[in-house]
Amino acid sequence: MLMYRYFPGRMMGGGLVGLILTVLVVVGIVLLIVFLASRKYKVPGSVAAQGATPAAQDRFLAMLNEQRAASGMGAAEYEERRLVLEGGRADNHANAEIVALKERYARGELTTSAYVEERNKLLGLG
């Protein structure tokens, strides 16, 4: 009996209206929690946050395709380079050093390990 006295539906007017208001408040709180949790776990270096353009990424892949045609790059090496370039979609393409590094890698001037090492230095990862 004591629980019924403090039931939120009863405090909001009782009856059907109080029950509906209680459900709306609970649903609103759940939606607010979901919204805040989704914002909290966004990747800070995401494409939207950094202003990276898909056009820049497409340009790197086009350069890689040209390099493959010109040098007869093997399928395994091409696939490795393509995956490495696509893995950096969230990079800040407004940073000229990152863009130049990716262009050198797409043209085949750098090995994968050298590219990863230089990229990590530019991004302060190691």
Token pair for 3: 């629980």
Token pair for 45: 């270096």
CB 81 within 8 A of CB 102: no
Tell me, what's the pLDDT at 13?
60
Question: Over the chain, what is the mean pLDDT?
Answer: 76
Same domain, 35 and 57: no
Q: What is the pLDDT of residues 98-124, one digit of tens each?
A: 888 888 888 888 888 888 888 888 888
Whole-number Cα distances in Å, 113 to 45, 71, 85, 92: 22, 20, 13, 20
Same domain, 34 and 65: no
pLDDT band at 46; cut points 50, 70, 90: very low
Same domain, 55 and 108: yes
Same domain, 74 and 91: yes
Same domain, 31 and 56: no
Domain ranges, residue 54: 47-123
Domain total in the chain: 2
Same domain, 68 and 116: yes
CA 124 – CA 121 distance, rounded (Å):
5
Q: What is the pLDDT of residues 2-27, one digit of tens each?
A: 455 555 555 556 667 777 877 888 89
